[in-house]
């Protein structure tokens, strides 16, 4: 399955906006997060990295076929 340039641009735009939304929401809730979930930031960051790597892996897998 081949993706058009517009579809690929939309995917990257969506991922960027989704990540920005996650970061904004996390920063908005940061005072409560620090109070209730000390030491959690690295887990959130690790989950984001795993998610990003998974997306890249899936795209490379799709593109190789």
pLDDT at position 41 = 78
In whole angstroms, give the CA distance from residue 23 to residue 42: 13
In whole angstroms, give the CA distance from residue 38 to residue 27: 14
Read off the pLDDT of residues 9-61 as tens digits, 9 standing for 90 and up.
999 999 999 999 999 998 898 888 777 777 777 888 999 999 999 999 999 99
Domain range summary for the chain, segments of one domain joined by +: 21-64
Contact yes or no for 26/42 (Cβ under 8 A)? no
């Amino acid at each position: 399955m081949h993706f058009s340039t517009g579809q690929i641009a939309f995917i990257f735009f969506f991922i960027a906006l989704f990540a920005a939304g996650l970061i904004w929401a996390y920063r908005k809730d940061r005072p409560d997060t620090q109070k209730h979930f000390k030491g959690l930031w690295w887990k959130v960051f690790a989950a984001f990295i795993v998610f990003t790597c998974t997306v890249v892996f899936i795209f490379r897998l799709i593109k190789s076929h």
